[in-house]
Structure 1
Amino acid sequence: MNNPWVIDNGSILLRLLLAMLLGGLIGFERERSNHAAGLRTHILVCLGSTLIMLLSIYGFSDFVDEINVRIDPARLATAVITGIGFLGAGTILFTGKSITGLTTAASIWVVGAVGLAVGAGFYFASIVSTILILLNLVVFNKLEQRYIRGSKLHLITIHSANTPNILEEISAVLEEQECVIRKLVVNERSNTVYGELQPAVLGLEITMQVLTDRKFEPMTITRQLRGIGQVTMVTAE
């Protein structure tokens, strides 16, 4: 290719297919891990970034020889990075106990960068980057979970009768599971059966954020808390 401002249709097809493949590999890992942005989202982001980069470099080749026109191949790439930032922000969620989706947001952003690299013809850089991204998402994730697992917050909600020792009994169960209570909210709630004329029975709604270093087992903690006589409902996440 002698003219740097001209590209043939075969090269365009190659770059778009490569973008689809590389974006799909990263998206497949996110889809398999059941994240908000999965296979199709990552493919579309990578394809779109590649197409915009192709347009930015080759789409205005007819104006290269114009005296008053200045061609900047990177002008549209900057807009792609900004736009993907808004898309990634949509995958970040605050669940009340922690922030999730940061890794998926980062994967969308870096897939956009891979697409730009493919569109610019940086095949080696884009392929190596994809391998390193998958290494980070798959291998490093397992190493982090196994060896670098830190303390994590979990949310527990309990409905129970309003008895004097209920908080002490709940605390004893959590101490046995090596959970540290970081936040505790206790509200009164009334239990009224629909259609009954009997007065409402006052109970408690106990919401806790607990911190634990060990692996959190919702089934085990729920079973033990339900074993307390006055507890009627437990949710753990």
Structure 2
Amino acid sequence: MHYTLSEDIKHILLALLIGALIGAEREYRSKSAGLRTMILVSLGACLFTILSIRIGNSSSPDRIAANIITGIGFLGAGVIFKDESRVTGITTATTIWMVAALGMAIGSGHYQAAFVGTVAVLIVLAFLAPLQSVFERFNRSRHYRIVCPYRNSSLSKYEELFRKHKLKASRGRQSRSGGLIEGNWEVQGPDRNHEKVIQQLLKDPDIHEFDF
């Protein structure tokens, strides 16, 4: 495929626009990879694709573009974090991956695919978030950590409380120090049931420490 300077400029401007549209949505939600990151990912993928097509030999004109996927994988991994209760950043990482794909589509001249892909990404990020929140209200996952005096039935008492309020609890790490025992659970269920349990646990005089 023959490229002219005007085509290169058009590709770069379109890649910038796509990165800006998706980056603006991420910036609005205060995500770690925002406007500048998405623009640079889109521009970088576009330019690498253009160069791959131009300087690649006849047998493998895509040899540079193929490595974009690997590079983006390392970049995306840097925004994924795990704490005690959940993993965060997966949506941001996959958005970076998708923006790189859109930049490659622009760089290779597949404008229709890039346009449809951009619209699809914006719909998923901007309009499906409220729907996800609705689902989460009916099946929220929370991490509970309770420290209380050690007795034979200490932790079973709280597991019974979870069951009473129709919450599914999976016991995690337990540890005992002196006369105290610590229990950890991953608990799933409706928000309103979590709130009832939390209120009871906050009023429990036996609990020394409580995180949720």
Q: How does the TM-score come out when normalised to structure 2?
A: 0.81
Shift of 1:39: 2.5
Hey, what's the Cα distance between the residues in 2 that align with 1:222 and 1:36? 30
Hey, what's the Cα distance between the residues in 2 that align with 1:149 and 1:234? 22
Q: What residue is the counterpart of 2:119 in the other structure?
A: 131
Q: What residue is the counterpart of 1:43 in the other structure?
A: 39
Give the one of 79, 82, 90 matched to 2:67: 79
Structure 1: 5+ residue stretches without partners: 62-68, 191-201
2:107 maps to 1:119? yes
Structure 1, residues 66-112: CA drift from partner, whole Å, max 9, x if none?
xxx63754222111122212222333344455444333222111111
Q: What residue is the counterpart of 2:20 in the other structure?
A: 24
Q: Which has the larger radius of gyration?
A: 1
Structure 2: 5+ residue stretches without partners: none
Hey, what's the Cα distance between the residues in 2 that align with 1:29 and 1:138? 7
Distance 1:94 1:104, change over 3 A: same
Q: What residue is the counterpart of 1:207 in the other structure?
A: 184
Distance 1:40 1:221, change over 3 A: farther
State the SS of the aligned residue for 2:109.
coil
Is contact 1:173–1:224 with CA below 8 Å preserved after alignment?
no
State the SS of the aligned residue for 2:128.
helix
State the SS of the aligned residue for 2:100.
helix
Q: What residue is the counterpart of 1:171 in the other structure?
A: 159
| Identity over aligned pairs, percent | 31
Distance 1:107 1:219, change over 3 A: same
Q: What residue is the counterpart of 1:226 in the other structure?
A: 202
Is contact 1:50–1:115 with CA below 8 Å preserved after alignment?
yes
Instruction: Report which of the two has the higher share of helix.
Output: 2
Bigger mean CA deviation after superposition, 162-171 or 37-46: 162-171
| Number of positions where the alignment pairs a residue of Structure 1 with one of Structure 2 | 212
Is contact 2:145–2:183 with CA below 8 Å preserved after alignment?
yes
Is contact 2:73–2:97 with CA below 8 Å preserved after alignment?
yes
Shift of 1:44: 1.5
Shift of 1:144: 3.9
Shift of 1:217: 7.9
Q: What residue is the counterpart of 1:7 in the other structure?
A: 4
State the SS of the aligned residue for 2:23.
helix
Bigger mean CA deviation after superposition, 18-27 or 164-173: 164-173
2:97 maps to 1:109? yes
Hey, what's the Cα distance between the residues in 1 that align with 2:39 and 2:195? 37
Alignment of 1:122-161 (within 5 A): 122-146=110-134, 151-161=139-149
Is contact 1:226–1:233 with CA below 8 Å preserved after alignment?
no
Hey, what's the Cα distance between the residues in 1 that align with 2:137 and 2:166? 15
Q: How does the TM-score come out when normalised to structure 1?
A: 0.73
